[in-house]
Structures are given as C-alpha cells and as structure tokens.
Chain A
Amino acid sequence: MPTQDITYREAIVFALQEEMRRDPTTLIMGEDIGESEGPFKTCQGLMAEFGSARVRDTPIAETGFVGACLGLSLTGYRPIAEIMFADFLGVAFDQIVNGIAKHRFMSGGKVKTPIVIRAIGGAGLRFGAQHSQTAESWMLSVPGLKIICPSNPEQAYLMLKAAIRDDNPVLVLEHKALLSMKGPVPVGTEEVAMPTGPKILREGSDVTIVGSLAMVGRSLAAADLLAADGVSAEVIDIQVLRPLDVTVVAESVKRTNNLIVVEEQAPTGGWSSDVVADVLTQAFDYLDSPPARITLPDHPLPYSPGLEDAMLPSPETIAATAKSLLE
C-alpha cells in the first residue's frame, strides 16, 4: 500500500473523512467541530463535505451529546463523538459507564451499540491539571467498552477507521502532544481490522519496554539511548487497553527476561499494573528482575513547564531504569 507522509492530526481527518464517505449512517458530534473544524482541527473539511446534519456542533453538553450517541446507535446510526479534551470525559462518565458500556448486555445481546468516542488527552503542553490527563485508566474497569490508544499517525488512521466500523462502543484516546507528529500513513486503505493486542515496534533482546500514546515515542527514544550503550531494548505499543491481552508482551519477556511498563498516568489503578500482573502469570519463570513500572507521580499535574517536564517519564529515566534492571 503506498503511503503519504502526514501528521497524526491529518490521519484522524482522513480516517473520519473516508469512513463518513463509506457509510452514510455515520455522523460526528462535538464542540466547535463544524465551521471551526475543531479546536485541534481534527474535523478539518468535514462540515464542508458532509454538511451540518452529519457534522454537528453541539452545545457544551457532554452528558447530552455522548448519551445521545447511545440513542443514535440503537436506532440505526453509527455516531462518533469528539471530546475536545479527554478531561471532559468526566462530565459524560455516567452515560458511558452505566449506559453505553452496558446497554447491549442488558438487552440480552439483542441490540448493537456502534459508538466511537474520540477524546484528545495528554500532558506536555502546559495546560495544567484539568486539561492534561490521558483518561486511560478512568474507564479501564468498565466491562463493555473497548479502549484503544494510537501512538503514531498510521495507527491513528487505521485504528480510528476500525473503531468506526466496529459494532461496539470504542473509546479512542488520542494524544494532543502527538497531533503534529508526522509519519507514513496508508491513506485510502479499504480493509481494516481492530487490533486485538499489543504491537512490537522495535525488536530487542535485553529488555522489553511497553508504553502507550506519547510514552511509546519516549520508549523508542530510550531504546536509542540504550542501543548507544550496547543494550538491546524491545519496544511494544500496548495500543489496546481493553480488552487487554498481554500475550505479545509475555512472549517478548520470555526472550528479554526483563520488563518495564511506562504509563502517562498515576501509579494507582492504571493499566501498567494489569500488564505486570498478567505477565507475571504468564512468564514468571522467565523474569530476571522484578518488573518496573514508570508512571506519573501520585498527584495531579502541575502547570509550570519545568515541573510538568519533571513529572513525565523521560527517555533518560526509562533508559536508566532499564540499566538498573540489567545490573
């Protein structure tokens, strides 16, 4: 498949555009996404092409428009909601965890709920405590949801397309620090499939480093640092948080015998703990060192640039952790 070099943001736009062309029952709702094309320009050109019936500017009413997605999905549509900052998922929490995630089950499996909720989260842009969260762990414990996290333009494109075609509720967590990241994207891809597990992005033999979203790039950068010091790191993008299947990670650990999980979230209640627990179950005998988790500290994120930077797992920290495991 020929590729185009485009940004993560453009990849989102292409995915939305292609899927909305493909299926007239898709529609997208969110704040300032129509004429303004979204505060992050993730809906560029959509209103012009599809009109205001399918590209809907909503009032500031996350409970209302996210809940409305359930009603749309039950009656023949495939709604997509854009949550401008993932932090605002908090406003829609009830509709998602008690409604969207459970409705099919409560109907005895009789209804379908093809819903995509895209939320743009993440730290690093000095937005302070209420506009910097990735929201990865908020809904991790909710059965009935799929949660995916694209870490590069290609994934942003392929995973969003697959999510839109999926017949289930999918929460797509995007990262605002990645929006301008460029990479090759197979624009125009016809066949897509929802990823079912982690993906190895770089092969290595000494240590396995697992990350999501912006932490993937930092893990790859750490692998570069380690390579310069003769350490071979395997880097894995967890990409699917729910349902979580760590087999790929466990198989990797069987080869490298060391595990680091990097998560842009507080240390408690996040997916890195689940990864470690499941890998221990599957590959306990192969580990040469206790698995390490690198997370944010257990407090909200500060605003001041130096403070925010100090909170985020850096390639240097990841590399140093890897070396300490190998000592």
Chain B
Amino acid sequence: MSQCESGNLFATMLTAAQIAELRAAVGPDGLITGESQLQTYECDGLTNFRVLPGAVVLPRTAEQVQAAVRVCARHKIPFVSRGAGTGLSGGALPAAAGVVISLARMNRILEVNIPDRYVVVEPGVINAHVTQRVAPSGYFYAPDPSSQSVCTIGGNVAENSGGAHCLKYGFTVTHTLALDVVLPNGDLVTFGSPALDAPGYDLAGVFVGSEGTLGVTTKITLRIVKRPEVVQTLLAAFASPQAAGQTVSDIIAAGMLPSAMEIMDTLAIEAAEAAVHAHYPMCGGLLLVELDGPAIDVATLMHETRALCEKNGATEIRVAQSEHERMLVWKGRKAAFAAMGRISPNYIVQDGVIPRTALPEVLTEIDRMAAAVNLRVANVFHAGDGNLHPLVLYDHAIAGQEEIAIDLSYRILHLCVDKGGSITGEHGVGKEKQQALGYMFSEPDLATMQLIRCAFDPDSIANPDKVFPRARLCADRPGPYAPHPLETAGVAEIF
C-alpha cells in the first residue's frame, strides 16, 4: 500500500476560474483551498493513502451540491463525497486536484414519522443521532457500525455499512427506503419512496454500497425499527475461537436467529481489556451472543444457548445483569480495533467474509500463514455472518515488516475468496482492495458492473479510480464469457 496518485486521467491543478465557479456554487464560506486546511481532508480511516485535493466544498443544501457537481461536470473535474472520513478502505481519499464534497454541514433530521416508521435525514447526520432521536418513541435505527458515534448516514449508504446486529436486522440497504441523489451531471433525482416497491428499477438498491461512484446522496429516507421488549447478552469463554465458532454453528442449526454473535480471540481480548476494562474472561475464544425479542421467547432461547455453550466446553458463561453491564460488554467489543494500538505499534484492519462453516478451517489457516512469516494476527469477528476482521499486527520500525504484513493481509483475503466468501463484508473496496476485486470477480462480471457505472457517470468523475481494478473507459464493452480462475480450479461453479 504505497501512496497513490489517482488523478492522472485528469488535469493536475484546478484553475483560478474553476475555483471561482466553485465559490459561486457554495458561497465563500463553503469553500476551502488553503493547503493547511486541505490537509484535513487528505485521507480517511485508511491513513497510509494520502492525496491532497484541489479544493473542498461544504454545501448546505442539495442545490449547492448540484451547483458544485455541475462545475465538476462542466470541466470534467473528479469529485469525491465525504462524510465523517471514518471509511477504512480509502473510499473518501481525494483525487489529486479534484474536489472533495463534504456533507458535514447537511446534518439535519428533516422528518420523523413514527406511525409509518421512517425518518428522513440529510447525509451528514451522524448514525447514532438517528436512534437518539427516535428512542423516546421506542424505536431505533438498526445498522450499528462500531463507528456509529461519528460516521454519517451518507457514508453508511455509500458503504452499505453493517454492524454487529446486521445478523438479524440486515444492512444499511435493508433500511434504506428512498434516496435523493445528485447525479454526476448535476441532475437531482429521487430513487425509491417511503412506501414500498416504487415502480421502475430498484436504483436505491443499486446506489447503496456504490461507494460514492454513482453520485452524491443529499437526502435519505430510513426505516426505523421497534425496539425489542428485552435484550440479553451472554458471554461464554472457550479454549479456542474454533470451539466458539462451533457453538455459533450449533445455535444457527437449532433454528435460532440471535441479533448478534461475535467472537474475539486471546489477542483481541487482551487489547480490549487494556483499553476499556470490560471484565472479559481471559480465554482462547470469547463468544458474545445477544438475543432480543419478546421476554418469554428470549428466556427460552437463552436457556438453549447456554446449553449449547456448555456442550461445546465453555469454561465460563455469564449473562450481563444490567444495562450498564451489557453496554460495557459492547464497549469492549466496539473498541477492539482501536485497542490494538495497546499491544502492537502498527496494525492492518482487514475485512473478509467466509461461509460460516469454513470458520474453524480458515482460522487455523490464518494462524499457520501468520506463523510462517513471524507475525501475529488478532481476530475479532461478526461470527454469525462469517465476517472476519483479522488484525495483522506489525512494527513499522522493523525494516520490511510492513510489506510482509500487507502481503499477509491480502493473502488472507484471497483465502476468503477461495473458501467461497468475499473480500469485504462492510468496509468496502475503495482504494485498498481494487486489485482484490479482480480476484473475486472475473472480467465479464466487472465489465457488467461497469455498465451501471457508465449509465450514471459516463465521464467517470464521481470518485474515479476506486472499487474497480483498473481505470476503465465507458466505451469499453464487456467481452465474451471467460471462466473465472476459481471455476477452472473447481472451487466455484457458475449456474
């Protein structure tokens, strides 16, 4: 992962005239061009990629977003939307000499409709604020990325963000009813509606998860969910993450659908303990199961869950006894990434998905791969849906170790794909995994996705040179079908 220069398809600097047009679009207090201020925007949560943008605009309205995008369209200037900049794949990384459109000032909750269970928000609204707003009525906004106290709904929509509870409640896309979008030509259009099944193609479904490459969303209608009667969280200590993983499979096989099932290994427990003192039992594999629903149901299912933990050799089982204890359990889990700093000078956060049943095998293989290059990998994962977050620990000060760590992290992704999984479950492809996308999908698959891209953005000015393995031009046509390497190897099949 070296520094990247992505603007070579475009001009290398914004002209004074272009800057003046941008100023006219968003007003003088909505434009940043000074170098030191621009530096705030040079990266997102993936900090080893940095590019200085040409300008940042801070629109307050959809009309201002339109005006800024029209300037970009007129001059074919690349633009990158930005929420809170917490993305972990370089999605909000600016294009050199491009424009960053920060949605931070569009942060109003426009409508709360409890009887019809939706809210309408601007893209800069912080995820956690939605739940805060509807909680007094007994509702919540379900997608809960660990970054929820800072990340924005616009960023969530772009990444189709998940969180611990998406096992039961689904992802951002599950909860997105309608979107206003400024297309890369500056047109403002509406996808979907607060009522279901708006006639036409499901463009809201397509836009969610498109990582800022199809336009800028300026208004979002989100579904809200009734808060369950009871929520209970169980912690169970096992000798290994594999044993914890087996318990997860058994819970699923018993026909239960907990709201969350998370696993942490020893390294992750150590780090989380050091950071937030969550009082986790020290063990080889810690399983966290959250059940919610009607009180009677939860009691019955909690009983079954306990029995399955015991069957798989849990050495300690605890159920959080108060809301305070439960929050502490989650605090430890949500702090796990950041806590790695306590046990390692540097680390890479990876995000891969495997079929749940491959868990024991993949964990063993990751251990073996790490040992072979003398590195440690901490594991934190959304076990219920097979979403791994291997954290590759290394020391930048040791010559060559960063490259080895990066290589290991990519090989782990390839392993996920080889086992029938995905290179990303929630952090997106962005800048970081462009090449890995080419490992997961074959050329015709990618060319087909490009048809969508070109329909929205024929000049490729919206977040260019992200997601796809190489810069493509909209004149490219998909070629004939060629078997994916995985198919020829007999690992996967087309049907």
Q: Is the pairing of A and B real?
A: no
- B residues lining the A interface (CB < 8 Å): none
Q: Which A residues are within 8 Å of any B CB, using their own CB?
A: none
